[in-house]
């Protein structure tokens, strides 16, 4: 299962009841950890990075690069610049019904640098993401403490 902003999870680890036709599993696509998955019917990126190896629905497209660091490109593909400037011209439809034109998406020029630099930048971004997550958790705890204190003050 693909989770927007959360990678992929196994079907049996999901709390959702997902139906699929076991007879048509041969149509499903193999995806490896680090591959990118594109769903043409969702926008806000409509793109996710596989965090597991497995199979996905034929409704998705997959791609990966040779000698590339997925973490580096994941950050790029999730960036406001990529979504607003590079991807948006290849999106059509309105509101939640937007679709991505895969042929147009293939024409997007993607910046690149040496693999070593990609790894260094990708690792740095992963550390920053982790720090942001920790600070968000701390903020949430502090907000809960504040709420609790205010409730005790104004019973």
Alpha-carbon gap, residue 48 to 2, rounded angstroms: 7
At residue 106, the pLDDT reads: 85
Alpha-carbon gap, residue 117 to 115, rounded angstroms: 5
At residue 118, the pLDDT reads: 93
Answer for the pair 62, 47: CB distance below 8 angstroms, yes or no.
no
Residue range 82-116, pLDDT digits in tens:
888 888 888 877 666 677 777 888 898 988 899 99
How far the first Cα of the chain sits from its last, in Å, is: 45
| Tokens found for residue 27 | 């149509």
Confidence of residue 21 (pLDDT cuts 50, 70, 90): low
Answer for the pair 53, 32: CB distance below 8 angstroms, yes or no.
yes
At residue 147, the pLDDT reads: 94
Q: Which fold has domain 2-110?
A: Adenine-n6-DNA-methyltransferase TaqI; Chain A, domain 2 (3.90.220)
Alpha-carbon gap, residue 150 to 132, rounded angstroms: 27
Answer for the pair 52, 10: CB distance below 8 angstroms, yes or no.
yes
Overall pTM > 0.75: no
Cite the DSSP H helix spans in 55-114. Answer: 70-77, 80-81, 102-105
- The torsion defined by the Cα of 25, 59, 7 and 93, in degrees rounded to 10, comes to -170
At residue 134, the pLDDT reads: 96
Q: What is the mean pLDDT of residues 48-56?
A: 83
Q: What is the mean pLDDT of residues 123-152?
A: 94
Confidence of residue 4 (pLDDT cuts 50, 70, 90): low
73 vs 143: which has the higher pLDDT: 143
């Amino acid at each position: 299962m693909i989770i927007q902003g959360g990678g992929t999870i196994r079907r049996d680890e999901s709390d959702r009841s997902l139906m699929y036709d076991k007879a048509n599993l041969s149509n499903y696509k193999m995806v490896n950890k680090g591959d990118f998955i594109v769903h043409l019917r969702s926008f806000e990126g409509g793109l996710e990075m596989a965090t597991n190896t497995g199979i996905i629905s034929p409704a998705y497209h997959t791609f990966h690069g040779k000698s590339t660091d997925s973490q580096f490109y994941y950050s790029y593909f999730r960036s406001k610049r990529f979504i607003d400037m590079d991807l948006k011209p290849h999106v059509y439809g309105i509101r939640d019904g937007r679709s991505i034109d895969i042929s147009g998406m293939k024409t997007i020029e993607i910046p690149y640098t040496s693999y070593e630099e990609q790894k260094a930048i990708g690792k740095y971004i992963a550390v920053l993401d982790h720090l942001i997550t920790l600070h968000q958790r701390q903020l949430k705890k502090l907000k809960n403490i504040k709420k609790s204190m205010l409730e005790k003050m104004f019973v």
